[in-house]
Amino acid sequence: MPDQSIPEARTPDTAPAENEAASSQGISRRRLLGTAGATGLVLGTTGAAVGYAAAPSEAAAPLTSLGTDQAMFHGKHQPGITDGLQARGHLVAFDLAAGAGRKEAAALLRRWSETARRLMAGEPSTHDDTDVARDAGPSSLTITFGFGHSFFARTGLETQRPTALDPLPEFSSDHLDKNRSNGDLWVQIGANDALVAFHALRAIQKDAGRAAKVRWQMNGFNRSPGATAHPMTARNLMGQIDGTRNPKPSEPDFDQRIFVPEKGEPAWMANGSYAVVRRIRMLLDDWEKLSVKAQEDVIGRRKSDGAALSGGTETTAMDLEKTDAEGNLVVPINAHARITRPDQNGGAAMLRRPFSFHDGIDADGVPDAGLLFICWQADPLRGFVPVQRKLDRGDALSPFIRHESSGLFAVPGGAAEGEYVGQQLLEG
């Protein structure tokens, strides 16, 4: 779990009392979308109110800012990469059905893209909407699509498969379940409302129809926007502030590190990125037996505020050479934060955008919990792989985590108006 992060999702600016008052109005999704002009909300393309007429007795009332926040489906890059962390997430991989090929895959991506566009704008899905997200706004919903290594053979597109999609090497911390790894197609769903996220998951699954079947599916969560006094780097289930040194879009080389160049290879991946997805089990019972001081030595940062053990605040540069009165390094040589620093890995960097998970407690009382690790980079052989190899050689955190599933997916650039994700690949 490299020591990098992105800003947490925007904190709602509506005061709690105002939120409660707005909520008490019981505004329905139908009313919201039918009166968008009256409330001043911008929820997407024209036609959002189709099939959602409000009852005459309903009074117009705005949603809280949490509900109105909207990500754009169309754009240079797909949504769900640089957006802030979301409170709820679903990851799902599909395999194409027997006999399905390029034609069926193109039709599926066309359906999925239209569904994603509509749901991200706060509209119902195109058909058989389940009403699960009724009454809610877009809630920062994002839906992201990617292709796995096996997709290209299934569709006769092997010549278009990027070399960056070559299988990841094996690592010593791997205990991988092949049934919960990889896949022809991958979908990432995130939102700041659990019902909005589930609604999207259900719509994507239904849209798959007979063209593809679910290979695996995982559920995750993060802290809700507004739960802290001010926006801050998220904590993981170990209680650590997790992700302090994530590259930021304001940095001059951000695009170079995270996205495939417009004139990169293959051409259909222009402005796209590669997602490494790992289900990392945290051995919480073992971790929680450590003292806070021992936990901080493992990570290399203070648990209270995320500052490096060498001093300062969370954002203060780590002093790797600082020693204590006895001449020992203040930041241990095998501390996780030291090993994952880009300047200790030839500049290797990736944009982490994870979700925590908890899938119950086993018969021995051990929680099945940890991190759905998702990282984005222009080339995983220069991003994830060198960092993970170095972690493999002596990370102090390794005894407390276990990598249980893995996937690598090529995520093409965003779809232009009137296009669907992956159209250049499937119709080029």
Q: Please give the pLDDT value at position 20.
A: 39
Pairing mode, strands 367-377 and 273-282: antiparallel
What pLDDT score was predicted for residue 191? 98
Other Cβ atoms within 10 Å of 38 Cβ, number? 10
Q: Distance of alpha carbon 71 from its chain centroid, rounded?
A: 14
Q: Which of 136, 127, 141 is nearest to 31 (CA)?
A: 136
User: Which are the catalytic amino acids?
Assistant: 242
Query: In this predicted structure, what is the pLDDT of residue 264?
Result: 85
- Residue 131 has φ and ψ, to the nearest 5°, of 70, 10
* C-alpha span between 149 and 126 (Å, rounded): 30
Domain spans of the chain?
A: 94-100+141-185+239-427
CA–CA dist 80, 122 (Å, integer): 16
Whole-number pLDDT of residue 173: 85
- DSSP SS3 for 142: strand
Any idea what DSSP says for residue 347?
A: T
Query: Measured between alpha carbons, how far is residue 29 from residues 26, 64, 79, 164, 181 in Å?
Result: 10, 13, 23, 42, 36
DSSP state of 107: H
pLDDT at 62: 58
CB 207 within 8 A of CB 271: no
Q: What pLDDT is stored for residue 3 in this prediction?
A: 57
Phi, psi of 111, deg, nearest 5: -65, -45
pLDDT at 27: 36
Q: What are the pLDDT tens digits along the chain (428 aa)?
A: 655 544 444 444 444 443 433 333 333 333 333 333 333 333 333 333 223 333 334 444 555 688 999 999 999 999 999 999 999 999 999 999 999 999 999 999 999 999 999 999 999 998 889 999 999 999 999 999 999 999 999 999 999 999 999 999 999 889 999 999 999 999 999 999 999 999 999 999 999 999 999 999 999 999 999 899 998 999 999 999 998 889 999 999 999 999 999 998 999 999 999 999 999 999 999 999 999 999 999 999 999 999 999 999 999 999 999 999 999 999 999 999 999 987 777 778 899 999 999 999 999 999 999 999 999 999 999 999 999 999 999 999 999 999 999 999 999 999 999 999 999 999 98
Residue with tokens 């707005």: 22
C-alpha–C-alpha distance, residues 134 and 28, integer Å: 6
Provide CB contacts within 8 A for 10, sequence distance 6+: 69, 84, 225, 231
Determine the Cα–Cα distance for residues 355 and 164; give it in Å rounded to an integer.
24
The pTM of this model reads 0.85
